[in-house]
Amino acid sequence: MLIEVIKAILFGIVEGITEWLPISSTGHLILVEQFVKFKQVSPEFWSMFQVVIQFGAILAVVLLYWNHIWPLTKNKEKAIKKTGILSYFDKKTMQLWGKILVACVPAAIIGLMFDEVFEALFYNPFCIAIALIVFGIAFIVIENYNKKNKNKKAKEKNSEITYKDAIIIGIFQLLAAIFPGTSRSRINYFRRLANRLN
């Protein structure tokens, strides 16, 4: 029993480190699982374990950026309206939440429809290794391109990102969800490249 707890801690360490680096946490969890396996657990348990362990990392992000995502305000000048119930909601924060929800649409629709198909096809060590190599090379190429084109600044601030940008981000996030081994944070380099090309 103790060894299984140690394995769970190891997975937690891998998730905790890879979630904050521009590498795929899901891909690395699957790769580590090839060498460190839980005894007598069902595929359903492993899928749920991955969700739960990543939920902890998501909560850490929420806590870190709490002041940026909390929608309520006492400052009427920053509110959506100066009177009524909308006077309690910060306008910029609610716009940010709107863009976040828009960015979730592609993954929500396609993910719900084809989740089992994608998992059967791509959630294996071979596909993850290919994704790590292909997207790793692509990121290096894009990074070098960005260094040569510093005069063309990409949209970085929340206020600069439009709803069109949000849906594009969502499409790239879908790509990262389909192919484990693709970092969700690094995949947005493709969006930044597109911004610079426009």
- Give yes or no for a contact between 86 and 80, defined as CB atoms under 8 angstroms apart: yes
Top-confidence residue, 44 or 147: 44
In this prediction, residue 71 has a pLDDT band, given cuts at 50, 70 and 90, of very high
Three-state SS for 96-152 is HHHHHHHHHHHHHHHHHHHHHHHHHHHCCHHHHHHHHHHHHHHHHHHHHHHHHCCCC
Mean pLDDT of 84-95: 91
In this prediction, residue 30 has a pLDDT band, given cuts at 50, 70 and 90, of confident
The model's pTM is: 0.74
What is the DSSP secondary structure assignment for residue 90, as one 8-state letter?
Answer: B
> How do the domains of the chain map onto residue ranges?
1-64, 71-198
Burial of 97 (0-12, 13-18, 19+ CB in 10 A): middle
Q: Which two structure tokens, joined as six digits, stand for 55?
A: 């939920």
How many of the other CB atoms lie within 10 Å of CB of 127?
Answer: 17
41-60 per-position pLDDT tens digit: 888 888 888 888 888 888 88
* Res 197: pLDDT: 46
How many of the other CB atoms lie within 10 Å of CB of 181?
Answer: 25
37 has a pLDDT exceeding 90: no
161 has a pLDDT exceeding 50: yes
Instruction: Establish how many alpha carbons lie within 13 A of residue 107's alpha carbon, considering only the half-sphere containing its beta carbon.
Output: 19
* Res 89: pLDDT: 94
* Res 190: pLDDT: 56
